[in-house]
Structure 1
């Protein structure tokens, strides 16, 4: 008799320090399976709207009793009329999709398009966090087999289940309709493909974390001419310079002839504004809502408003004191903090001036 070999059990590598605080991260492919059915349908809407939005004019969700076998509808319009639409059917089960999971949906698709409750979609895509089984994939890849098996399964899976008030017999014209139905429109999206596409949307960070993964683009340089979105804050700066010089300043050329250092100061403020605008656009493109950037503006406002409203010799000194203060503010509670560049804070002050939330000269 051969002696047993005893092997000492080795511990896995220790988790890192962040795991002590937050636990070991759950990979997106696994976290997707933890969503409720309602959350999963929301994610599907975000995916269609965020990733496929250039292909569609309108995306909306039905996802309730009476949906007639439609979950997320994505429409293509021309002259305000729907000319094509796709259906994304969400199936949130604890297993991979089997053929038995879709017979009723296929029955509804055939029945409701036959009675003209809605038109035949261009694509009918199943999306499931667990993916699909081999039998399901084989069925979807062979539309004629799908049709044949649907007909065979009709009495058991569809006949008494499509509506609560009718028995839907598969006979006569309706049987001919099903036999001629193009089931090649039915397809599925694997979870890996779904997550890859969903990760390109600004919604991904909120559902799966990971922070903002794209680098912030380089800010643009100000145009020589004052742009329309600059008029208000520039006017307020000219008012501040007018008080400093005791001379009316209405444009940058007048400022440059009176005081070259103030002209340089003015050009720096424009650069700050353009930097802050680039941060605003970055936040808009990377996040689905304007809230983080607006919260950052609010935090800056709360930090500077007392000094803005204090008594100063003139408006220009108010600008200097405010910019000095804002550059030393402790801003810690916003996801955009680590993307701030030198000048962003001053630029946010000028954005606030643009919104008439602050002014440098007392009225």
Structure 2
């Protein structure tokens, strides 16, 4: 049975929904330099915030207002929640947000959908219906009048930036995959195969230089350059295979960096490191013997978790070349 992730999002409690949304927003690195969760008393109408600049609330920011309700978000609730933004912005607590999204797993009522679809009608409704819908609901036991400052905030706000997102829309969002993996053990699938460029890339230089030095030591000669090593009848094919493995690992990293929480890839690499480090430290006949033994050991290591499940032998061996690049497990000591 295919898991229904929208249903699982609808089953989260208030606190869990906010944490899920923060995990989702945090992966929107092209949009935000930082995310923050404001919740509970004193949140001033903010649940999860994405800051567009390091100026945080003094620069552009987006608000995700989470409403885990038993039914769809009502018209009154939508007006009150957005009204809090106008009230607190008018009081100088923060700038008006660049974007405002109702995250309502069960959806929003038709009237709210219509207002979102008609931004200027929405703006006028705030002015016309403030006393009816908004004023009594902003502060407990108080009625907040439509002051000139609040009226100005409503006039300046871009109502085209108001959106709503239900559980299905959230589950299907491209940035939601890492959160689905973390919260519901979603299977991100296998990484695409790596593509090895014909010419060596700058990122490969450290491990390739180390390998070429070891080939030369084994052959008791010095290879003039990469092409000379590649033409060697004994070790040229070995060098080609290592480049293939390196780019298999690079493709693996890119895919799971985007599709799983940040600690998943780090944990995979730590497991692999600890699976080969003792072999690396052993005494060997020469440096090339160390490389061969470590790569053989890497093929036998079974890191835990979903990444370990999808890591084929070339990925694990290519990751060892990444360790050499980083100086974590250098091929030449």
Aligned to 1:268: 241
Of the three residues 99, 102, 106, the one matched with 1:126 is 102
Q: Distance in 2 between matches of 1:80 and 1:70?
A: 13
Of the three residues 28, 32, 39, the one matched with 2:5 is 28
In the alignment, structure 1 residue 219 sits paired with structure 2 residue 228:
no
Distance 1:85 1:223, change over 3 A: same
Q: Is the 8 A contact 2:50 2:62 kept in 1?
A: yes
Distance 1:304 1:76, change over 3 A: closer
Unaligned runs of 5+ in 2: none
Of the three residues 316, 324, 340, the one matched with 2:311 is 340
Q: Is the 8 A contact 2:52 2:60 kept in 1?
A: yes
Q: Distance in 1 between matches of 2:158 and 2:261?
A: 36
Q: Distance in 1 between matches of 2:63 and 2:259?
A: 27
Q: Is the 8 A contact 2:74 2:109 kept in 1?
A: yes
TM-score (norm 2): 0.79
Q: Distance in 1 between matches of 2:270 and 2:150?
A: 64
Q: Is the 8 A contact 2:268 2:303 kept in 1?
A: no
Q: Distance in 2 between matches of 1:122 and 1:325?
A: 52
**Which structure: greater helix fraction?**
2
Residue 343 of structure 1 aligns to a residue in which SS? helix
Q: CA offsets, 1:233-281, max 9 Å, x none?
A: 2233234223322334463345467x42122222222222222222222
Q: Which has the larger radius of gyration?
A: 1
Distance 1:110 1:168, change over 3 A: farther
Q: Distance in 2 between matches of 1:127 and 1:321?
A: 53
Across the two proteins, how many residue pairs are aligned to each other? 328
For residues 1-363 of structure 1, the aligned pairs below 5 Å read: 27-51=4-28, 53-56=29-32, 58-76=34-52, 84-134=60-110, 136-137=112-113, 143=122, 144-145=124-125, 147-153=127-133, 156-158=136-138, 160-161=139-140, 169-170=144-145, 173=148, 184=159, 186-197=162-173, 200-213=176-189, 215-225=190-200, 227-249=201-223, 251-255=225-229, 259-289=232-262, 291-327=263-299, 329-331=300-302, 333-360=304-331
Residue 235 of structure 2 aligns to a residue in which SS? helix
Unaligned runs of 5+ in 1: 1-23
Q: Distance in 2 between matches of 1:238 and 1:31?
A: 53
Shift of 1:232: 2.4
Q: Is the 8 A contact 1:312 1:318 kept in 2?
A: yes
Deviates more, 1:68-77 or 1:259-268: 68-77
Q: Is the 8 A contact 1:239 1:315 kept in 2?
A: no
Q: Distance in 1 between matches of 2:192 and 2:93?
A: 48
Shift of 1:286: 1.9
- What RMSD over aligned residues (CA atoms) do the two structures have, in Å? 3.6
Q: Distance in 1 between matches of 2:151 and 2:331?
A: 78
Q: Distance in 2 between matches of 1:103 and 1:250?
A: 73
TM-score (norm 1): 0.74
Shift of 1:88: 2.0
Deviates more, 1:108-117 or 1:141-150: 141-150
Residue 202 of structure 1 aligns to a residue in which SS? helix
